């Protein structure tokens, strides 16, 4: 390796897996170069969360990061870790610093079949992670009265619309988004489509929401026409806009192998549907892509707290490390691509192949054993699963 990866260590069971993956699957095979940031909760607390900010800055500098799952503190964690403050979600902090879009795709293996029979290839969900109902203002209307939407410009001029004349009690909600954030989202989607050579679908409810959703549609189209049309044509891929209800119907009939870009709420809801239909959160890759082409790879699941407590109690665990392994391979492959390091890219491919082959040979963790269609299955503990992958890797 020439340029280091930004390595963000994390918490609980995934921190245990992290160390095993490095020792068994990475360090024996590559001259791993990382700039290490400990995002474990203890270190975030000691540094007043500065370590998270530093890791995000380092990601901007080097361009590629790999992140372990981390605890987002709540009241229970305050006492468990004796915290000075209820530190913010590291993912939120990193996302805000990189202005990114999150792409999630299932890892397909034979023996773990999607519930939707015609899904042959992965469907990648791209979720806009800013605004709409997630940054809303709400009023519970007590009784009769007039609700208005008012915008006051910097110079004091106003735009005013009546929302509703209430005859009795009801509810009100104000939401917003910005052209800047929508444009970043669009560019992240177009770049990711080019990067992975997949068609891009985008859908909103612009027939009903003639200004709000229509603005999303227009910004996507303007950016596509100005900056991406030719690139898409020469890559042989397509950008396709349709209504959200049409998109949902088409997704169910499709073969997969495309990116589905969704507004914030649609992405929240649809990514849970798509991921559970494909089998398991532990078989899902997740990458945050910024509009300037900075990449942060992680697993889609959390720190698997319940397994960690068993581990601490000296009991055996069977935690699936696939998503964490794929976070590493994703980051290594991207680093290799940016540095023109073919050996590193080839290693990432090989490690992914070894991981998939191990499962397809019937050696897997308990979560997969419960849903597999394979007959001859060996259920492995956390450590032995990683060791089996190493054995497979040695044969490739
Ligand atoms: P979780 O860690 O995703 O685990 C929820 C359950 O899903 C587990 O108890 C387990 O089910 C199953 N599971 C998840 N990943 C698995 C794996 N790799 N192998 C096997 N089973 C797996 O969610 P959580 O327990 O709600 O959250 C724990 C901590 O993670 C929280 O502190 C939260 O803040 C944090 N979190 C972090 C991120 C992130 O950093 N990206 C994302 C989400 C949550 P069984 O117990 O039934 O085996
Ligand atoms: Mg959700």
Cα of 330 to ligand 1 centre, how many Å?
21
Name the percent of the chain lying above pLDDT 90: 87
At 193, the pLDDT band (50, 70, 90 cuts) reads very high
Each residue of 14-23: pLDDT tens digit?
A: 999 999 999 9
Burial zone of 147 (CB within 10 Å; 0-12 exposed, 13-18 middle, 19+ buried): middle
Q: Are 281 and 50 in contact (CB under 8 A)?
A: no
Mean pLDDT of 246-273: 94
Burial zone of 178 (CB within 10 Å; 0-12 exposed, 13-18 middle, 19+ buried): exposed
3-state secondary structure of 253: helix
Alpha-carbon distance 201 to 182, whole Å? Answer: 15
Mean pLDDT of 334-339: 97
Give the tokens for residue 57: 């800055």
Who wins on pLDDT, 290 or 388?
Answer: 388
Cα of 268 to ligand 2 centre, how many Å?
4
Mean pLDDT of 180-203: 94
Cα of 281 to ligand 1 centre, how many Å?
9
pLDDT of residue 170: 98
Measure CA 289 to chain center: 9
pTM over 0.85: yes
33 touches ligand 1 (CB under 6 Å): no
**How many Cβ atoms from other residues are within 10 Å of residue 170's Cβ?**
15
Calculate the average pLDDT of the chain.
95
Alpha-carbon distance 7 to 127, whole Å? Answer: 24
DSSP letters spanning 59-111? HHHHSEEEE-------HHHHHHTT-SS-PPPHHHHHHHHHT-EEEEEEPP-TT
- What atom in ligand 1 is closest to the CA of residue 301? 3
pLDDT of residue 163: 98
204 touches ligand 1 (CB under 6 Å): no
Each residue of 147-189: pLDDT tens digit?
A: 999 999 999 999 999 999 999 999 999 999 999 999 999 999 9
341 touches ligand 1 (CB under 6 Å): no
- The candidate with the shortest Cα–Cα distance to 272, out of 103, 372, 113, 125, is 125
pLDDT at 391 over 90: yes
pLDDT of residue 190: 95
Q: For tokens 């649609």, what's the residue?
A: 266
Alpha-carbon distance 196 to 76, whole Å? Answer: 41
Helices (H), the chain: 12-21, 41-46, 50-62, 75-80, 90-98, 179-196, 212-223, 229-235, 244-253, 264-278, 305-312, 322-339, 342-360, 366-369, 382-395
Who wins on pLDDT, 363 or 274?
Answer: 363
Residue minimizing CA distance to atom 26 of ligand 1: 302
221 touches ligand 1 (CB under 6 Å): no
Enter the DSSP assignment of 197. T
Cα of 99 to ligand 1 centre, how many Å?
25
Q: For tokens 């605004």, what's the residue?
A: 131
pLDDT at 263 over 80: yes
pLDDT of residue 99: 76
- What atom in ligand 1 is closest to the CA of residue 298? 41
Q: Are 149 and 174 in contact (CB under 8 A)?
A: yes
Cα of 133 to ligand 2 centre, how many Å?
13
At 142, the pLDDT band (50, 70, 90 cuts) reads very high
DSSP letters spanning 328-384? HHHHHHHHHHHHT-HHHHHHHHHHHHHHHHHHHTTEE-HHHHTT---SS-EE--HHH
- The candidate with the shortest Cα–Cα distance to 359, out of 373, 345, 349, is 373
Each residue of 65-124: pLDDT tens digit?
A: 999 999 999 999 999 999 999 998 898 889 878 877 889 999 999 999 898 999 999 999
131 touches ligand 1 (CB under 6 Å): no
Each residue of 229-239: pLDDT tens digit?
A: 999 999 999 99
pLDDT of residue 361: 97
At 292, the pLDDT band (50, 70, 90 cuts) reads confident
325 touches ligand 1 (CB under 6 Å): no
Q: Are 235 and 194 in contact (CB under 8 A)?
A: yes
């Amino acid at each position: 390796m020439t340029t280091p990866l930004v390595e963000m260590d994390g918490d609980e069971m995934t921190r245990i897996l992290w160390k095993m993956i490095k020792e068994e699957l990475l360090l024996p095979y590559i001259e791993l170069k990382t700039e290490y940031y400990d995002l474990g909760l203890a270190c975030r607390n000691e540094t007043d969360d500065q370590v998270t900010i530093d890791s995000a800055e380092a990601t901007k500098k080097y361009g590629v990061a790999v992140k372990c799952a981390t605890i987002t503190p709540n009241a229970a964690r305050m006492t468990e870790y004796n915290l000075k403050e209820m530190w913010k979600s590291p993912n939120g902090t990193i996302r805000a610093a990189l202005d990114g879009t999150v792409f999630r795709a299932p890892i397909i293996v034979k023996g773990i079949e999607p519930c939707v029979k015609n899904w042959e290839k992965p469907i990648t969900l791209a979720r806009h992670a800013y605004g709409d109902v997630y940054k809303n203002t709400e009023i519970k209307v007590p009784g009769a009265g007039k609700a208005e939407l008012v915008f006051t410009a910097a110079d004091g001029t106003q735009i005013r619309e009546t929302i509703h004349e209430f005859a009795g009690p009801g509810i009100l909600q104000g939401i917003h988004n910005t052209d800047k954030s929508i444009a970043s989202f669009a560019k992240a989607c177009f770049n990711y489509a080019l990067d992975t050579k997949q068609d891009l679908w985008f859908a909103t409810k612009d027939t009903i929401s003639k200004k709000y959703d229509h603005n999303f549609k227009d910004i996507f189209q303007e950016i596509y026409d100005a900056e991406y049309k030719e690139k898409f044509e020469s890559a042989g891929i397509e950008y396709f806009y349709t209504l959200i209800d049409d998109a949902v119907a088409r997704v169910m009939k499709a073969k997969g192998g495309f990116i589905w870009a969704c507004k914030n709420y649609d992405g929240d809801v649809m990514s849970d549907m798509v991921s559970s239909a494909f089998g398991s959160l532990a078989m899902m890759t997740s990458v945050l892509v910024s509009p300037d082409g900075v990449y942060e790879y992680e697993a889609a699941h959390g720190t698997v707290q319940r397994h960690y407590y068993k581990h601490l109690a000296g009991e055996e665990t069977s935690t699936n490390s696939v998503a964490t392994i794929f976070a590493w391979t994703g980051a290594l492959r991207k680093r290799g691509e940016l540095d023109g390091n073919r050996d590193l890219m080839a290693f990432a491919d090989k490690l992914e192949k070894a991981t998939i082959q191990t499962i397809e040979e019937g050696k897997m963790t308990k979560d997969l054993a419960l849903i597999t269609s394979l007959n001859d299955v060996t259920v492995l503990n956390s450590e032995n699963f990683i060791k089996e992958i190493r054995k497979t890797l040695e044969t490739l």
